[in-house]
Structure 1
């Protein structure tokens, strides 16, 4: 456990743990990487337990080698078990096809690989194993020792923990970011796009029909300025299609005024809107929405971003005692599938820095250098992903969007 310190007992800096705020994929990956090299750390998570209300899936591709370097070999060997279909081995090279949303004809296709499609909940379960995670810990304040040797996190339950370095890995609406920059500069930027997500099981006949389009994932751009994704969320039993859960959505240009006006819509209203959109779509979207019961549970999200390279967004790392990683630094739109890859890269690079700190490196210099690279790399991606999202919802510009011109490759300049 993290050392809870009083004024009478300050540990030597080299003996202090690394404090990680947030037990999402990034924080867990960093903690696994530190555990692998024998550096003690504790994760503080605001949720009461590991369970999350919502689950989704994420694409891991160019960031995969970094994750492999962070986790023990036995965990990497089990990565197949957390994929959306654990029964389908990951291909060395796979094809992602974009369909014309109205006709179903291919617009483009590009190859990539290996491409891992991971269930967030199962990835977190795997990555949580063997770690010291304290739940129900709401970060309320951070202080820094006058001698520059330690940082202390305070929680709403009255407890505190002191460490050599505090890492904010607490997601897109990061409390760490708010404490560093203030509520105005730390506020996430709302974008005029929204999506409603569906998780759904079907009868054997319908499930087999829907899956024939692609076993794992498929995307579409529609002339009515809409974008769609369709894929597997969890194929529980390989030989029983009734156990397969599909994940799909249609996103659209949705002004902030419309988002505010519809903020209290019910699930039924959200799904009814999606069903109306889907009437002009090709399959599998058209049938999947038609077959979904009107009262099916859904979840809605307005798209957002936070650009770490924007004016006023550079935080003070207090002599290298505090930094941030993952969505706490670079929440981005998801149509180009880059978020997890950048977040895992953050974790891998910070692990390397912390190893250098253990060996006596200058903390301020190393953390500042780490942040400069991360901000440059991920800031470019935040901006590019938002540009891509805008183009995917503008039929006249669809074929010029980064996802069509570059696929899911890492930014070439980074």
Structure 2
């Protein structure tokens, strides 16, 4: 159906998944005058995760959507990233790469994941948010789709946007049965009070401590507006359990070669979020004529380049623009994939390169994406 024959404002759009990608897409569509109903499997939206770095191409969308001022209030501007040895010797102190045509855009904005999702949800009408809805099955009729949820409810939509994560039901049923790929690493994450970090984060520099012997990492992201620091321990592990059960003593053992201050920080943390780290190999296709994948459902990547959340948000912005500019939904989805897939394919590859003590740059993406 041609969009000019059916006004954009009348489109029935369903987003499956209320994480960063799904929520950002709902805001992007609203900015184009498109109402979307968002269906999330969790019973409540609660504070989860830790810090993430928002890059200038992502922040541009925040400005377009009229939410930048709130983002600015709840984030910190970081100009540098450091790679350090496990004992704190600085190996690389590097400006963030230039990813836009503005030479001033060598920065990232550091924000807590929960604050970002709150900002998105605060832009959406409450009646458009449907919790406790886990997608059970989906039927593609060509020009529309029917979604069934495990609570017995079902909906029909002109366009379905599947932002349902790395273990996407929509992807497995319609596009690819590709299995997530285990990276043989775990991430143990927490947010700690700034006053308990022994002044290891005096400014807004994002730091990665690397143990050259074991390959273990500690990511240290200041969130000064919260008076907190995001603390992420990434270690090698043969345990592929999705949510491994790890005791504090095991985490401390992984940090034996690290600065005593880092060990003391880890010792004080009572609650870690423990995850095995997976990604997927690039897909050949993300969409049909009325259904598309977005974010991790389309291109899950490892966290080493910090591009997972950025990519999902940019997906949402580009998808909304593609719908605005296209004559039909199928055309819009083709434009969306053509614009986004080459970029996310490359970031999926780059994300498999963890920081190393012998690295020449903190940003392997510079050789591909940095604007001359």
Distance 1:150 1:405 in 2: 41
Where do 5+ consecutive residues of structure 1 fail to align? 1-11, 237-243
Match of 2:172 in 1: 178
Structure 1 match to 2:338: 372
Measure how far apart 1:328 and its partner are: 1.1
CA distance in 1, matches of 2:54, 2:123: 23
Query: What's 2:369 paired with?
Result: 411
Structure 1 position 40 matched with structure 2 position 35: yes
Alpha-carbon distance, 1:230 to partner: 1.6
The corresponding residue for 2:110 is 117
User: Measured at CA, do residues 375 and 307 of structure 1 come closer, stay the same or move farther in structure 2, by a change above 3 Å?
Assistant: farther
Cα separation, partners in 2 of 1:353 and 1:141, compared to 1, 3 Å: same
* 1:259-338 map, 5 Å: 259=240, 265-266=245-246, 269=247, 271-282=248-259, 284-289=261-266, 291-292=267-268, 296-309=270-283, 314=285, 317-318=287-288, 320-338=289-307
Measured against aligned partners, the alpha-carbon deviations of 1:242-286 in whole angstroms (never above 9, x if no partner) come to xx433223322223xx445x97634xx2x2122123232126423
Query: What is the count of residue pairs matched by the alignment?
Result: 353
Once the two structures are TM-superposed, the CA of residue 341 in structure 1 deviates from its matched residue by 2.0
**Residues 9-158 of structure 1 mapped to structure 2, 5 A cutoff:** 15-52=10-47, 54-72=48-66, 75-83=67-75, 90=77, 94-102=79-87, 104-112=88-96, 113-131=106-124, 132-145=128-141, 148-158=142-152
Unaligned runs of 5+ in 2: 1-5, 97-105
Q: Is the 8 A contact 2:147 2:154 kept in 1?
A: yes
Secondary structure of the 2:351 match is helix
Q: Is contact 2:220–2:229 with CA below 8 Å preserved after alignment?
A: yes
Residues 13/141 of structure 1: CA separation in 2 closer, same or farther (3 Å cut)? farther
Q: Which has the larger radius of gyration?
A: 1
1:228 to 218, 225, 229: 218
1:209 maps to which of 199, 213, 216: 199
Q: Distance in 2 between matches of 1:176 and 1:228?
A: 34
How far the C-alpha of 1:177 sits from its partner, in A, is: 1.3
SS at match of 2:81: strand
Measure, in 1, the Cα distance between the counterparts of 2:368 and 2:249.
Answer: 37
Provide TM-score, normalisation by structure 2: 0.84
Q: Residues 350 and 370 of structure 1 are in contact (CA less than 8 Å); yes or no, is this contact kept in structure 2? A: yes
Give the superposition deviation at 1:314.
Answer: 3.2
- The aligned counterpart of 2:161 is 167
Counterpart pick for 1:198 among 190, 193, 199: 190
**CA separation of 1:19 and 1:69: change in aligned 2, threshold 3 A:** farther
Distance (whole Å) between structure 2 residues aligned to residue 164 and residue 277 of structure 1: 50
Partners of 1:149 and 1:406 lie apart in 2 by: 38
- State the Cα distance separating 1:344 from its structure 2 match: 1.8
- Decide whether aligned partners of structure 1 residues 327 and 101 sit closer, same or farther in structure 2, where only a CA change above 3 A counts: same
Q: C-alpha displacement at 1:219, in angstroms?
A: 1.0
Q: 8 Å contact 1:226–1:251 — kept in the other structure? A: yes
By how many angstroms is 1:355 displaced? 1.0
Asked if 2 retains the 8 angstrom alpha-carbon contact of 1:96 and 1:218, the reply is yes
- Give the TM-score, by structure 1 length: 0.77
CA distance in 2, matches of 1:292, 1:254: 23
User: Which position in structure 1 is the counterpart of 2:103?
Assistant: none
- Name the CA distance, whole Å, in 2 between partners of 1:99 and 1:337: 17
CA distance in 2, matches of 1:34, 1:170: 17
SS in 2 for 1:34: helix
